[in-house]
Amino acid sequence: MISRRGLLGGFTGLSGLSLAGCGSRHPPAPSFAYAPPGGGSWKPSANGLDAVIDISHNVRVSDFNLVRRNEILAVIHKATEGGDWIDPSYSERRVQAESAGLLWGAYHFGTRQYSGARQAQSFLNVVRPTSRTLIALDFEYNDPNPNNTMTLAQAEEFVRVVQQATGRLPMVYTHARWANGEKSGRRGLRLKEPVGPNSILARCDLWLADHREEPELPYAWANRGWKLWQYLADETDANAAYGTVSRAVPGVTHCDRNLFAGDSTELYRFWGAGRTRA
C-alpha cells in the first residue's frame, strides 16, 4: 500500500447502516486450493491460500456478497492514517462485508507527523476491534511525502500501545528492503536502523509486501516467515498479473491480493483466538 489520504476517489456503499453486529457469526469456511486458482503460467513460489484482499476508500465496491462468492474469505480495509485522518468508507463497509460473511480486518498507515501512541489511539478509536478483527500497522516508506515517513521508534510505540489496549500484537505490513534498512522509494530514504530480531515488531506476524515471483523475507522475520504475502497490488481486469490470468475480484473495481500461510480452517482460527499474543 501507499499513502492514499489524498486519493479520495468515488466509493459506493449502503446508507443507514451502523456498527451493530460486527462480531456476527460466519458460515463454515470452504476449502480452497493453496495455490491461486485460475491457471496461468505464473504462481507464487510458496504455498498459500489466495483468499484475502485489501482495499481502501479509493476502491469502488459494488457488492461484497459477490466478493464472497468468488472465493474471497477476508477483507482488510484501511481505517486511519497518521493521527488525524479516517478512511471515510471504513465504517459502513465493515458492516456490509461482515453481513456478507467476510472476515474483516483494519490497517493503519503510519506517518511521522504524530507520536506512535497518538496514532495507535486514533486507530483503536475508529476500529473498535473485536476478537475477530484483524489489526495491522502499515510500516513503509511514504513515497508521496517522504518527510512524513514513520520512524522505527514510532512504529514500536504504536505496537506497544495496541498490545496494551487489546492484549494482542497487530500484524506488521512491510517489505524487506525497508525493514532491513536499505534505501527505498524515489528519494532513496531508509530507516536509521533496521528492524532487529529484538524489536517488538519482530514479535508481530508479518504481512509481507513483495510483488515479485520470489518474495524476500526481512531479516527480523527470517526464522518465522510470513503470515500474509501481498503478491499483487491494484489489479483490474485490464491489468492482469505478470501478463497472465487476471486476479481481479468481481464486486470491487480493483484490489491487492494476498496469500495466507495455511488453509481455510487455519485462516479462520488465525482471524479469531489463534493470533499472536505476548
Contact 155, 110 (CB under 8 A): yes
The band of 186, judged by pLDDT with boundaries at 50, 70 and 90, is confident
More confident residue, 156 or 1: 156
Measure the CA dihedral 150/155/158/160, to 10°: -170
Residue 164 grid coordinates: 496494551
Q: Which of 168, 101, 161 minimizes the C-alpha distance to 130?
A: 168
Task: Write out pLDDT tens, residues 253-269.
Answer: 999 999 999 999 999 99
pLDDT digits over 8-39, tens only?
332 233 222 222 222 233 333 333 333 333 33
Q: What is the pLDDT of residue 205?
A: 98
223 class by beta-carbon count within 10 Å (0-12 exposed, 13-18 middle, 19+ buried): exposed
Say how far apart CA 52 and CA 4 lie, in whole Å: 20
Residue 274 C-alpha cell reads as 489463534
Q: What residue ranges do the domains of the chain occupy?
A: 49-270
Q: Look up the CATH superfamily of 49-270.
A: Glycosidases (3.20.20.80)
Please report, as a single letter, which amino acid is at residue 247.
R
Higher pLDDT, residue 66 or 240: 66
pTM score of the predicted model: 0.82
Q: Is it the case that residue 1 has pLDDT exceeding 90? A: no
Average pLDDT for the chain: 83
**pLDDT in the model for residue 134:** 98
Q: Which of 38-42, 214-218, 252-256, 272-276 has the weakest average pLDDT?
A: 38-42
Question: Please, what's the b/e burial string for 95-104 (b: 16 or more CB within 10 A of its CB; e: otherwise)?
Answer: bbbbbbbbbb
The pLDDT, as a whole number, for residue 38 is 36
